[in-house]
Amino acid sequence: MYRYDEFDERFVRERVAQFRDQVGRRLNGSLTEDEFKPLRLKNGVYLQLHAYMLRIAVPYGTLSSKQMRQLALIGERYDRGYGHFTTRTNLQFNWPKLRDIPDILDLLADVEMHAIQTSGNCIRNVTADHFAGVAQDEVEDPRPTAELIRQWSSLHPEFDYLPRKFKIAVTGAEHDRAVIKAHDIGLRILRHPDTHEIGYEVIVGGGLGRTPMIGKVVREFLPKADLLAYLEAVMRVYNLEGRRDNKYKARVKILVHEIGTEEFSRRVEEEFARLDGPSVNADPAEVARIAAYFAPPAYETLPATSGAFEAARAGNPDFARWVETNLTPHRQPGYAALTISLKPIGAPPGDATSEQMRVVADLADEFSLSEIRVTHAQNLVLPHVKLSDLFAVWQRLGAAELATANAGLITDIIACPGLDYCALATARSIPIAQALAQRFADPVRQKEIGVLNIKISGCINACGHHHVGHIGILGLEKRGIESYQITLGGDATENAAIGEILGPGLAAEEVPDAIERIVSVYLAQRQAGESFIDNVRRLGLAPFKAAFQDTNREVSHAVA
């Protein structure tokens, strides 16, 4: 796990002091809200419907137990006793008082955390695979690359005022768990097919929101040593040519779409050739220094199986069900990575109380080498748990209401805060997620359905990633009424796809019945072992549209 050096410490503390002065001037009236807005956004502070919101960066989703305890303290002391984990692996506090935010930022700095570049037209928090360093299908741990990009991009003077926000994700695995094709830049670490040298596949122009697009490959293989110079070239082309006259067309995906992938790639390669690579690329000694912080921890030498674990699984059906859904195989024999679901039935997705954060921190210290991960699916991960300890961990999680056995299932729903909090939202997201979780709460039924990703956004900005949900739900406002548009066939993996709209929008109370009908088509027509998304690809939308139209006909009849 990376630790701040003296430069990091100094520049974060200086930023906190600077923002403390800015907050003081806003509170005494020296700054108007319009003058203060760009300053607060530079420090992760939004003005939502009811209060300010503070968004805290969790780079590449990695947290220490010490950091998690500090977040718990902040939630308890300065918020309402909880925090909300987001699809960018950030943590949001929804109710801080403006006067308290500098004190919060000081507390964050005490544990090497900050809120810099979590908002505004800059390079945002860099994310990565939440199973980085432990996944069996991994070519290389992506976190050293993500940390290198974090350092390069932090307060980069050339990219401090971009046309729009810019998001980067990195994966080092065969299976994409970082949604790299829905990012402005996605990097996949791979081996060259001929030389076996490790480098990057570079994907540019992905993104969701008003105009969802899947990223395009602009470089099939980039040597590792050239990473920063190539990123600099991409950013320069975008910064120079990205639209600034229309914020809805200002993302790099629009530039790639308008001039074409081939032309965009040509311009990047020209800029890359003009750059003085050695002056931009990281010194190999610095790369090695960063990589050393992510060396594998001190694992014990253990057998690949555990008698105690197998006995507990055989003797406890609830534990066995949790193991089946929430455990991921580890590259180290005798260990597993476990997903802690923040999606208990009926609760807001992604929320964790301060007490729950402390429980997770304690478990990390006792059982996971003091390390925690945050996932883009709004869950947490303990990445280094011995098989022999799993039953004890499960019991402790259960006592804290954190042992929901639904990772990847239909009730493991991604949802943005929606109209309950967000000033940009046009509809609520949380109540829809809660209603669907209640509808499909039966664990036997969840297992029967299998892997099915529902993602919900409360506005066109798509913070809930609804475009790449197997089932996506977008809340809109029509003539003063909340209306929900259903999409089908989205995918956030290496087979990334944008879902297609099934039909007219539905009222909130009609959404569970519509999803029920869609699931029923799948269950009735699936082949042996076929997942929901594979079933949609095989059947096409027609049978699902017919079921969806039945919902609309029933609604129309009821209204009549």
**Mind listing the pLDDT tens digit for each residue in 413-439?**
999 999 999 999 999 999 999 999 999
What is the distance between the alpha carbons of residues 521 and 550, in angstroms, rounded to a whole number? Answer: 12
Contacts of 183 (CB under 8 A, 6+ apart): 167, 168, 169, 203, 206, 207, 215
Q: Read off the CATH number of the domain in which 439 is found.
A: 3.30.413.10
Query: 161 pLDDT exceeds 50?
Result: yes
Contacts of 137 (CB under 8 A, 6+ apart): 173, 174, 175
Please tell me whether residues 90 and 139 are part of one structural domain.
no
Residue 259 in 3-state DSSP?
helix
- Segment 273-288 mean pLDDT: 95
Please tell me whether residues 14 and 67 are part of one structural domain.
yes
Please tell me whether residues 385 and 433 are part of one structural domain.
no
- For position 558, what pLDDT does the model report? 42
Closest CA relative to residue 113, chosen from 72, 66, 57: 57
Contacts of 141 (CB under 8 A, 6+ apart): 132, 133, 172, 294
Query: 469 pLDDT exceeds 60?
Result: yes
Contacts of 300 (CB under 8 A, 6+ apart): 334, 386
The band of 556, judged by pLDDT with boundaries at 50, 70 and 90, is very low
- Segment 139-153 mean pLDDT: 97
The band of 551, judged by pLDDT with boundaries at 50, 70 and 90, is low
Q: Read off the CATH number of the domain in which 47 is found.
A: 3.90.480.20
- For position 554, what pLDDT does the model report? 53
Task: Tell the residue number behind the tokens 């940009």, with chain if given.
Answer: 424
Q: Is residue 297 part of a domain?
A: no
- The mean of the pLDDT values for the chain is 96
- Segment 35-53 mean pLDDT: 96
Question: Dihedral sign, CA of 315, 317, 321, 326?
Answer: negative
The band of 6, judged by pLDDT with boundaries at 50, 70 and 90, is confident
Q: Is residue 311 part of a domain?
A: yes
One-letter amino acid at 171 equals T
Q: Is residue 252 part of a domain?
A: yes
Question: Dihedral sign, CA of 536, 494, 504, 428?
Answer: positive
Q: Is residue 1 part of a domain?
A: no
Query: 555 pLDDT exceeds 70?
Result: no
The band of 559, judged by pLDDT with boundaries at 50, 70 and 90, is very low
Q: Is residue 471 part of a domain?
A: yes
Please tell me whether residues 93 and 163 are part of one structural domain.
no
Please tell me whether residues 138 and 23 are part of one structural domain.
no
Instruction: Name the more confident of 144 and 479.
Output: 144
The band of 7, judged by pLDDT with boundaries at 50, 70 and 90, is confident
- Segment 498-526 mean pLDDT: 97
Q: Is residue 298 part of a domain?
A: no
Query: 248 pLDDT exceeds 60?
Result: yes
Please tell me whether residues 333 and 232 are part of one structural domain.
no
- Which of 292, 327, 350 terminates a domain? The answer is 292
Please tell me whether residues 515 and 429 are part of one structural domain.
yes
- For position 560, what pLDDT does the model report? 37
Please tell me whether residues 279 and 202 are part of one structural domain.
yes
Structure tokens, 265:
């790639």
Question: Dihedral sign, CA of 497, 456, 189, 55?
Answer: positive
Please tell me whether residues 357 and 465 are part of one structural domain.
no
Cα-Cα end-to-end distance for the chain: 61
Query: For residue 30, what is the DSSP state?
Result: S
Closest CA relative to residue 446, chosen from 456, 459, 437: 437
- Which of 346, 373, 400 terminates a domain? The answer is 400
- For position 557, what pLDDT does the model report? 42
Burial bucket for residue 508 (CB in 10 Å: 0-12, 13-18, 19+) = middle
Structure tokens, 61:
């989703």
Domain extent, residue 222, equals: 134-292
Query: 309 pLDDT exceeds 70?
Result: yes
What is the SS3 assignment for 311-345? HHHHHCHHHHHHHHHHEEECCCCCEEEEEECCCCC
Q: What percent of the chain has pLDDT over 90?
A: 96
- Which of 400, 424, 458 terminates a domain? The answer is 400
Burial bucket for residue 332 (CB in 10 Å: 0-12, 13-18, 19+) = buried
Closest CA relative to residue 107, chosen from 54, 47, 46, 37: 54
- Segment 528-533 mean pLDDT: 97
What is the distance between the alpha carbons of residues 486 and 475, in angstroms, rounded to a whole number? Answer: 9
Closest CA relative to residue 140, chosen from 218, 196, 203: 196
Please tell me whether residues 32 and 61 are part of one structural domain.
yes
Please tell me whether residues 201 and 156 are part of one structural domain.
yes
* Secondary structure element (H or E) that encloses residue 255, with its range: helix 252-259
pLDDT digits (tens, 9 = 90+) for 374-409: 999 999 999 999 999 999 999 999 999 999 999 999
Q: Is residue 128 part of a domain?
A: no
Q: How many Cα atoms occupy the beta-carbon half-sphere of 309 within 13 Å?
A: 19
What is the distance between the alpha carbons of residues 96 and 80, in angstroms, rounded to a whole number? Answer: 8
Q: Is residue 465 part of a domain?
A: yes
Residue 373 in 3-state DSSP?
strand
Residue spans of alpha helices (H) in 368-440: 390-399, 430-439
How many domains are contained in the chain? 4
* Secondary structure element (H or E) that encloses residue 68, with its range: helix 65-78
Please tell me whether residues 266 and 173 are part of one structural domain.
yes
